[in-house]
Amino acid sequence: DVKVTQSSRYLVKRTGEKVFLECVQDMDHENMFWYRQDPGLGLRLIYFSYDVKMKEKGDIPEGYSVSREKKERFSLILESASTNQTSMYLCASSLHGTANQHFGDGTRLSIL
C-alpha cells in the first residue's frame, strides 16, 4: 500500500531557528509536494519537485526552501523560522504530474 511518512507529527521551534521537515515515500513516485494548511485559507502549495534535484515554486515559497537529493525523500526547510509559519504542513507524492496525490499525516509546527 502507498505510504508517505512525515518525520514528526508535532514540532515546536523558536523564532529564528532553521527548521527541517522531512518526508519520505516508498512508492518510487516522481513527484513530491509540500503544502501548508491554515484555517480559512485552505491548503496552499509551497514547493514541489518532479525529479531528483529538481524543484519548482508553488504559490507561497517565500521563507522556505526544499531539497530532494534522493527520489524517496523531500525536505522542507524554514531558513529562519517566524511566527507566521506556525501551521500544519502536509507532504504528498504522486507517480507523475497528473496522477492521484497521496498525503502524509502532516506535521503541526508551532513557532514560538
Partner 1 sequence: KQEVTQIPAALSVPEGENLVLNCSFTDSAIYNLQWFRQDPGKGLTSLLLIQSSQREQTSGRLNASLDKSSGRSTLYIAASQPGDSATYLCAVRGSNAGGTSYGKLTFGQGTILTVHP
Within a 10 A sphere around the Cβ of 111, how many other Cβ atoms?
Answer: 19
What's the min distance (Å) between Cβ of 16 and partner 1?
Answer: 27
List of residues contacting partner 1 (CB under 8 A): 4, 31, 40, 42-45, 48, 50, 56, 58, 90, 92, 94, 96-106, 108
Helix, strand, coil % over all residues of the chain, rounded to 5:
5, 55, 40
What's the min distance (Å) between Cβ of 105 and partner 1?
Answer: 5
Q: Which is nearer to partner 1, 78 or 90 (CB)?
A: 90
What's the min distance (Å) between Cβ of 6 and partner 1?
Answer: 8
**Cα Rg of the chain, angstroms:** 13
Q: Which is nearer to partner 1, 55 or 111 (CB)?
A: 55
Q: How far apart are CA 108 and CA 111, in angstroms?
A: 10
